[in-house]
Amino acid sequence: MMARSSTELQARHESALPRGVVCAFPICAERARGAEIWDTEGRRYIDFIGGMGALAVGHSHPQVVDAVITQLQRFTHTFFGSIPYDGYVRLAERLNAIAPFPAPAKTLLVTTGAEAVENAVKIARFHSGRRGVVVFKGGFHGRTLLTLAMTSQLDPYKRGFGPFPPDVYHAPFPSAYRGPSADEALQSLRDLFETQTEPEQIAAMVIEPVQGEGGFLPVPPEFLRALRALCDAHGILLIADEVQCGFARTGRVFAIEHSGVDPDLVALGKSFGGGLPIAAVIGKAEIMDAVPPGGLGGTYAGNPLACAAALAALNVLEEENLAARSMEIGERLTTGFRSLNLGANYPIIGEVRGLGAMIGIELIDDATSQRPATALTARLVEDAAMHGLLLASAGRAHNVIRILAPLTVSNEIIDEALAIFDESLARVTTLAHAGSI
């Protein structure tokens, strides 16, 4: 039975779903297009969450919808390991052609971003004969047990779910705003190799070129270059987790391209599927071929409908030049958000940062202490939603507003969103000054 109201859906949610499954907003989606979504009661929202980064081409892009309908009328599923089909191979060929490294590439299709990261680690371990994995603090890599071991945030993701798989080591992630510097983070990594494990036991380093859940923190290019040199010196594979920051979100098809560094393996997901569940591992062919026949795959891995959607999404990326559009969106948003801080109108904006359209706004209680404005951020998200703008927070203290607008969004909608943000920020700042937050 279709919910007739948000209130009705919420009541049914509480009855039918475990309390670990939460929803940020008390609304019930009815239809969506581009960067807009409407609930069952006819209210319109600007969607700057975009399926938590899964909708770079926007809601229900006509090319994606048409491709899925066409495939739906042919067949929905076979299991590629038994009866192969053209869509899987064609999609792999497309990804191999755009891989962010010059060596010949091969692609494995899977279903989720976490599954892509896990398979990248599996492949790295098999290829190297080693077990250890180095990740970086603040990183988010998924919700399976291995990817939770690789994820740094305790609440709400890790608490109570251990023990986690061993041989995962967490190194500091550089941050220009809060530290450590790139040099300090690199020294800490060297210290890790001296005090916790020798580099010859490490199969791979896994890093998000722009941390997502960690607060939209771009990796300094010099740090990535230093990681590449360390990996080369010790026979370690470099894995780029591009699940959230990939697919032109940062102004390049792959965020790591900004640094000029070649990864060995890339985990891709979210927007890559145009709204359908699909993910991939793209890797250098000699590494990907290390795993013997039957060692990779999955029942729904590379599902025909998802392959059709992903191929269409890649067409949209190229035809609508979404990488260039991402840079335009980022410039417009960054200018708008930074203008709010001029004249100390909103001194709680500590930093506006990001690459391309992947923008983070870090909110603080005061400029001197840089204390995270966690409660104010939560109230801002709530207030903006009440006035038609859907936002999500990020960061270890949940004090960063992350912008995941579809790359197909118009300038008019961007300006409307900036106006709502400005008004909401004014309201919650007034409440904060009055001691009501």
Give me the pLDDT at residue 62, please.
98
| pLDDT at residue 34 greater than cutoff 50 | yes
Residues 6+ apart with CB under 8 A from 16: none
pLDDT class of 155 with cuts at 50, 70, 90:
confident
pLDDT digits (tens, 9 = 90+) for 43-88: 999 999 999 999 999 999 999 999 999 999 999 999 999 999 999 9
Looking at 319, 350, 368, which one is the last position of a domain?
319
Same domain, 177 and 289: yes
Q: Which long-range contacts (CB under 8 A, 24 or more apart) does 181-188 make?
A: 182/220, 182/222, 182/223, 182/226, 185/223, 186/223, 186/226
When pLDDT is averaged across residues 237-264 and rounded to a whole number, the result is: 98
Whether residue 1 is contained in a domain is answered as no
Same domain, 282 and 376: no
pLDDT class of 206 with cuts at 50, 70, 90:
very high
pLDDT class of 343 with cuts at 50, 70, 90:
very low
| pLDDT at residue 8 greater than cutoff 60 | yes
Same domain, 232 and 291: yes
| pLDDT at residue 17 greater than cutoff 50 | yes
Whether residue 31 is contained in a domain is answered as yes
Same domain, 305 and 158: yes
Give me the pLDDT at residue 90, please.
98
Same domain, 367 and 396: yes
Whether residue 275 is contained in a domain is answered as yes
Give me the pLDDT at residue 175, please.
94
Whether residue 363 is contained in a domain is answered as yes
Same domain, 269 and 142: yes
Both tokens of 428, joined, read 């919650």
Same domain, 213 and 327: no
Same domain, 70 and 169: yes
Percentage of the chain exceeding pLDDT 70: 97
Q: What CATH number is associated with residue 111? A: 3.40.640.10
CB 88 within 8 A of CB 215: no
Whether residue 278 is contained in a domain is answered as yes
When pLDDT is averaged across residues 351-355 and rounded to a whole number, the result is: 95
Looking at 294, 319, 344, which one is the last position of a domain?
319
Same domain, 266 and 353: no
Domain span holding position 366:
6-57+321-433
Looking at 259, 293, 319, which one is the last position of a domain?
319
Predicted TM-score (pTM) of the model is 0.95
pLDDT digits (tens, 9 = 90+) for 399-434: 999 999 999 999 999 999 999 999 999 999 888 878
Total domains present in the chain: 2
Same domain, 91 and 187: yes
CB 282 within 8 A of CB 266: yes
